[in-house]
Structure 1
Amino acid sequence: MSIRLKQLRRQNQWSLETLAEQTGLTKSYLSKVERGLSVPSIAVAIKLARALAVNVEELFSEQAASMEIAITRASERTSFGSGEMDKPSVQSITSGAASKRMLPFVVYPAADFVASAFKEHEGEEFLFVHAGSVEVAFPTGTFELGAGDSLYFNALIPHKLRSIGPTQAEVLVVVSHDDE
């Protein structure tokens, strides 16, 4: 994402300061994202896409999305994050669809909440645990989900996710997103 974010920012003829003002993020954080030193959360990716008036996928792909029907093969997924058990990793799984109102990702959550602060963003969120087990924390309570379990909630409720148990969890996360 680092190269693409910088390209999109420059296309708009924006400085880091302008992008920071448009997103509510700090210049230093945005600089780290552009240099690949920091990985944005899904909520931050949505903020960046809105500010830059692009589809979230365009932050992670060199190709502009233009198809109404899109197939993304497993080998074509776009990954961001470390892939290490102690750090969250995310794969975008719909790289070709334009004007999406749903943003699906495969998330491999970190094993510890310390690596993950509470997140909140506009829209709704759906989680489906494909493998392993996770713990989803909200300010009002924590829920454990195993393979095959799902959870649907208003994404404005602060939430965080972690992998629990001996197997790295794999979670399908679908976030609703409306450009309007």
Structure 2
Amino acid sequence: MTALVRALRKERGLTLEAFAAQTDLTKSYVSKIERGQSTPSIAVAMRIARSLNVDVGQLFADDASRSRITIDRAPDRVGTERYHPIAPRMLGKGMSPFIVRPGREFANDPHPEHGGQEFLYVVAGSIELDHDSEIVTLNSGDGAYFDASLEHRMRSIGAVDAEVLVIACDDNR
């Protein structure tokens, strides 16, 4: 993501300061993202994608080629990535699906909300979802659909590290 964000920002003639102002992020935070020192949350990635006029999945993709169908194989998701976009090469998506492996602590994201709606489905393990200061426990097989414009975050709880399917739908796309 780091090289692509920097390249797209420069391609659009945006300075770091202008891009930070446009995304309502701090210059230092944007710089950390571009240098690979910080991984943005889905909400921040959606804000960056909107500002750069690209699909959020493309920010996480190595190859942004067009496709009418993409297949996401489970073995390709092996690893410790916190956010794994699904179908990142598919352009013009109305949804932004991700596999998320939340940490054990609630993320200290300065912008945990974004426009639109979000759907979570717990594939494995258990999580606590903090939505607008209401904490709900979700176990494997449970789902939640909510207004993403309200502050939200999740964390893995229990003995098994959680894996969550997150589908974000941004009203502004």
Query: Could you say whether these structures have the same fold, taking a TM-score greater than 0.5 normalized by the shorter chain as the test?
Result: yes
Unaligned runs of 5+ in 2: none
Query: Counterpart amino acid of 2:35?
Result: R
1:125 corresponds in structure 2 to 118
Normalization by structure 1: what TM-score?
0.87
- In structure 2, the residue corresponding to 1:142 is in which secondary structure? strand
1:48 corresponds in structure 2 to 48
2:29 corresponds in structure 1 to 29
* Structure-2 separation of matches of 1:41 and 1:66: 25
- In structure 1, the residue corresponding to 2:93 is in which secondary structure? coil
Given that 1:135 and 1:145 are in contact with CA atoms closer than 8 Å, whether structure 2 keeps it comes out as yes
- Alignment CA distance shift 1:30-1:160 (3 Å): same
1:166 corresponds in structure 2 to 159
Once the two structures are superposed, what CA deviation does each residue of 1:76-111 show, in whole Å capped at 9, x if it has no partner? 4598xxx3xxxx811112122110111110111111
2:131 corresponds in structure 1 to 138
Given that 1:43 and 1:120 are in contact with CA atoms closer than 8 Å, whether structure 2 keeps it comes out as yes
Question: Is 2:38 aligned against 1:5?
Answer: no
Question: Is 2:20 aligned against 1:15?
Answer: no
Question: Is 2:143 aligned against 1:150?
Answer: yes
- RMSD across aligned positions (CA): 2.0
Once the 2 structures are TM-superposed, how far is the Cα of residue 55 of structure 1 from its aligned partner?
1.3
- Alignment CA distance shift 1:65-1:162 (3 Å): same
Q: In the comparison of the two structures, how many residue pairs are matched?
A: 172
- In structure 1, the residue corresponding to 2:92 is in which secondary structure? coil
Aligned identity (percent) is 44
Once the 2 structures are TM-superposed, how far is the Cα of residue 75 of structure 1 from its aligned partner?
4.3
* Structure-1 separation of matches of 2:59 and 2:142: 30
Normalization by structure 2: what TM-score?
0.90
* Structure-2 separation of matches of 1:139 and 1:104: 22
